[in-house]
Protein backbone atom coordinates (compact mmCIF):
# COMPACT_ATOMS: atom_id res chain seq x y z
CA UNK A 1 0.00 0.00 0.00
CA UNK A 2 1.29 3.47 -0.81
CA UNK A 3 0.17 6.80 0.59
CA UNK A 4 0.39 10.04 -1.36
CA UNK A 5 1.22 13.03 0.90
CA UNK A 6 1.01 16.72 -0.04
CA UNK A 7 2.63 19.39 2.15
CA UNK A 8 1.79 23.01 1.34
CA UNK A 9 2.39 26.37 3.03
CA UNK A 10 -0.75 28.19 1.94
CA UNK A 11 0.26 31.59 3.41
CA UNK A 12 -3.24 32.26 4.82
CA UNK A 13 -4.78 31.69 1.37
CA UNK A 14 -3.36 35.00 0.13
CA UNK A 15 -0.98 35.65 -2.75
CA UNK A 16 2.54 36.44 -1.59
CA UNK A 17 2.92 39.90 -3.10
CA UNK A 18 -0.49 41.41 -3.73
CA UNK A 19 -2.25 39.83 -0.75
CA UNK A 20 -5.15 38.76 -2.97
CA UNK A 21 -7.41 35.91 -1.78
CA UNK A 22 -6.36 32.82 -3.73
CA UNK A 23 -8.02 30.24 -1.47
CA UNK A 24 -10.34 29.01 -4.28
CA UNK A 25 -7.41 28.27 -6.62
CA UNK A 26 -5.47 26.68 -3.73
CA UNK A 27 -8.44 24.44 -3.03
CA UNK A 28 -8.61 23.47 -6.73
CA UNK A 29 -4.89 22.66 -6.77
CA UNK A 30 -5.11 20.57 -3.61
CA UNK A 31 -8.07 18.63 -5.03
CA UNK A 32 -6.16 17.99 -8.26
CA UNK A 33 -3.20 16.54 -6.34
CA UNK A 34 -5.40 13.63 -5.19
CA UNK A 35 -3.31 13.14 -2.04
CA UNK A 36 -4.31 10.77 0.74
CA UNK A 37 -2.86 13.02 3.44
CA UNK A 38 -2.45 16.81 3.28
CA UNK A 39 -0.22 18.84 5.59
CA UNK A 40 -1.10 22.54 5.54
CA UNK A 41 0.94 25.32 7.09
CA UNK A 42 -0.20 28.91 7.78
CA UNK A 43 -3.93 28.29 7.83
CA UNK A 44 -5.92 31.41 8.72
CA UNK A 45 -8.86 31.58 11.13
CA UNK A 46 -10.34 35.10 11.23
CA UNK A 47 -11.59 36.24 14.64
CA UNK A 48 -15.23 35.30 15.15
CA UNK A 49 -15.23 32.32 12.77
CA UNK A 50 -15.22 28.65 13.67
CA UNK A 51 -13.42 27.05 10.72
CA UNK A 52 -10.09 27.60 9.01
CA UNK A 53 -11.08 29.11 5.66
CA UNK A 54 -9.66 26.61 3.16
CA UNK A 55 -10.21 23.52 5.32
CA UNK A 56 -14.00 23.76 4.98
CA UNK A 57 -13.71 23.42 1.18
CA UNK A 58 -11.69 20.21 1.58
CA UNK A 59 -13.86 18.37 4.14
CA UNK A 60 -15.80 16.26 1.65
CA UNK A 61 -12.69 14.48 0.31
CA UNK A 62 -10.51 14.66 3.46
CA UNK A 63 -13.01 14.30 6.33
CA UNK A 64 -10.48 13.39 9.01
CA UNK A 65 -8.83 16.62 10.15
CA UNK A 66 -6.70 18.04 12.91
CA UNK A 67 -6.10 21.80 12.89
CA UNK A 68 -4.21 23.55 15.66
CA UNK A 69 -3.45 27.22 16.25
CA UNK A 70 0.25 28.08 16.25
CA UNK A 71 -0.03 31.86 16.63
CA UNK A 72 -2.73 34.07 18.11
CA UNK A 73 -2.94 37.43 16.34
CA UNK A 74 -5.17 40.50 16.84
CA UNK A 75 -7.40 39.65 13.86
CA UNK A 76 -7.48 35.88 14.25
CA UNK A 77 -5.18 32.90 14.49
CA UNK A 78 -2.70 31.12 12.29
CA UNK A 79 -2.42 27.35 12.41
CA UNK A 80 -1.33 24.09 10.86
CA UNK A 81 -3.50 21.23 9.74
CA UNK A 82 -3.46 17.56 8.86
CA UNK A 83 -6.24 16.39 6.56
CA UNK A 84 -6.68 12.74 5.67
CA UNK A 85 -8.88 10.43 3.65
CA UNK A 86 -8.16 7.82 6.33
CA UNK A 87 -8.96 7.85 10.04
CA UNK A 88 -6.47 9.51 12.35
CA UNK A 89 -6.19 7.09 15.24
CA UNK A 90 -4.49 9.32 17.82
CA UNK A 91 -2.67 12.64 18.19
CA UNK A 92 -1.22 14.83 20.91
CA UNK A 93 -0.78 18.58 20.98
**Residue with more model confidence, 24 or 80:** 80
* Number of compact structural domains in the chain: 1
Answer yes or no: is 60 within a domain.
yes
Answer yes or no: is 38 within a domain.
yes
| CB burial string 12-45: b at 16+ within 10 A, e below | bbbeeeeeeebbeebbeebeeeebebbebebbbb
What percent of the chain lies above the pLDDT cut of 70?
A: 99
Answer yes or no: is 19 within a domain.
yes
Q: Which of 71, 70, 78 is nearest to 54 (CA)?
A: 78
Q: Mean per-residue pLDDT for 36-47?
A: 90
Q: Mean per-residue pLDDT for 79-92?
A: 94
Range of the domain at 37: 5-84
| pLDDT confidence of residue 89 | 94
The model's pTM: 0.86
Instruction: Read off the CATH number of the domain in which 53 is found.
Output: 3.30.1370
pLDDT of residue 48 exceeding 80, the answer is no
Amino acid sequence: MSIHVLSYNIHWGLSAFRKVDVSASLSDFIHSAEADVILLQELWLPKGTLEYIIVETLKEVWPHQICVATALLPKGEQGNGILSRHSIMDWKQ
